Amino acid sequence: MHIHTPACPCFIIPSSMLRKLAIQADGAERQRLLEQLERSAFLRGQRAASGLAAPGLLVAPGVRHRTVYDAHHGTRLPGKLVRTETAAPVTDTAVNEAFDGAGTTYDFYQQILKRNSIDGRGMGIDSSVHYSKRFNNAFWNGRQMVYGDGDGKLFTGFTHALDVIAHELTHGVTQYTVPGGGLVYDGQSGALNESMSDVFGAVVKQWHAKQTVRKADWLIGAGIMTPAVGKALRSMADPGNAKLTWSGDDQPGTMRGYVEGGDVHTNSGIPNHAFYLAAMKLGGHSWDKAAPIWYQALSLLHPDATFADAAQATVKAAELRHGAGSGEAAAVQGAWHEVGVV
């Protein structure tokens, strides 16, 4: 048996992007952004301590159990309890957005993938908002979601983008679904971990908006940043789109651009683009065929899975769902071939 490093904390904003933004800032602003980077590195070092959540009680499918806490700009988690499942909306928008986004994501997993919450056993979904001061990130820490407010200059907050919320919750789903405790957050398995979160982040957003694969924008993180930073974090349709952000999107879309030793948010562009291509080939809504295939593939992976393993697992899942030699299996195989993985 291998001993695997737990997978998270997993962030939405890559540290490489925050570093570039810090470098172009000046004086106190630069200092503050660099301190936030150190804070993220510190949290990553703490991951062994956060560990896996205790298995939840088995709760009946369809019963949501959400709680939202206010960290009051501190870093102690979870903070003060401010909203529970049965409580009415409060005056704090971030609290309500975190609550509603968790609910939509829960509903997607329940209704479309027949999964009962993050752990498949009805686990409560806990979120903390107002984490730290002007914190430019959101993350899943291994047991709960954590949202900064953004500094207002670069990022405007992280709770108002449904794909960001679904991205973070999916880190939890991956952790509980890939046999062996998730996908190690480093190298290709780390990029796959990030990609799975982008995939289901995008699909939940499309499902909520009832968009076809052709209508969807395939952007991740649109609406969390000021125009000074750009339009969105990443594009699954066009990884490496230089016009997306001021700092430039450094994602490759195929293995030709693979970055040796690259950040998990960089090489994730390759499996992201494979999903986009498969979804376009399969047509209709991404949640009809493409997402269930990718979801089933999670159980066929292992903590150190490579892109080639993901290609094999998704083709296998397509065969299990639609038959060997089916058009669906061929579409998935073709997508991975186009990005140069197989």
Report the distance separating Cα 3 and Cα 337, nearest Å.
32
Report the distance separating Cα 87 and Cα 16, nearest Å.
39
**Interaction between residue 267 and Zn ion (CB under 5 A):** no
Among candidate residues 97, 130, 167, 168, the one labeled active-site is 168
Among candidate residues 130, 167, 171, 265, the one labeled active-site is 265
Is 327:315 a contact under the CB 8 Å cutoff?
no
Smallest distance, Å, CB 50 to Zn ion? Answer: 15
Site for Zn ion in 140-199 (CB under 5 A): 197
- Report the residue number, 10 or 233, with the smaller CB distance to Zn ion: 10
Work out whether strand 10-11 and strand 80-84 pair parallel, antiparallel, or are unpaired: unpaired
User: Is-catalytic flag, 319?
Assistant: no
Q: Which stretch binds Zn ion (CB under 5 A): 10-18, 113-121, 220-228, 296-304?
A: 10-18
- Report the residue number, 5 or 29, with the smaller CB distance to Zn ion: 5
- Report the residue number, 71 or 138, with the smaller CB distance to Zn ion: 138
Site for Zn ion in 268-327 (CB under 5 A): none
**Interaction between residue 251 and Zn ion (CB under 5 A):** no
Beta bridge partners of residue 125, listed in sequence order: 66
Query: Among residues 266, 237, 263, which one has the least CA distance to residue 249?
Result: 266
**DSSP state, residue 252:** -
Q: What angle do CA 270, 169, 97 make, to 5 degrees?
A: 115
**Interaction between residue 10 and Zn ion (CB under 5 A):** yes
- Report the residue number, 122 or 148, with the smaller CB distance to Zn ion: 148
- Report the residue number, 136 or 197, with the smaller CB distance to Zn ion: 197
Smallest distance, Å, CB 324 to Zn ion? Answer: 33
DSSP per-residue string spanning 172-237? HHHHHHSTTTS--SSHHHHHHHHHHHHHHHHHHHHHHHT--TTT---EESTTSB-TTTBS-SEESS
Report the distance separating Cα 71 and Cα 75, nearest Å.
7
Which residue's beta carbon is nearest to the bound Zn ion? 10
Q: What are phi and psi of 68, to 5 degrees?
A: -125, 135
User: Is-catalytic flag, 168?
Assistant: yes
Count of residues near Zn ion by CB under 5 A: 2
Site for Zn ion in 192-231 (CB under 5 A): 197
Q: Mapping DSSP to helix (H, G, I), strand (E, B) and coil, where does residue 329 land?
A: helix
* Residues with a known catalytic role: 168, 265
Task: Give contact residues for Zn ion (rule: CB under 5 A).
Answer: 10, 197
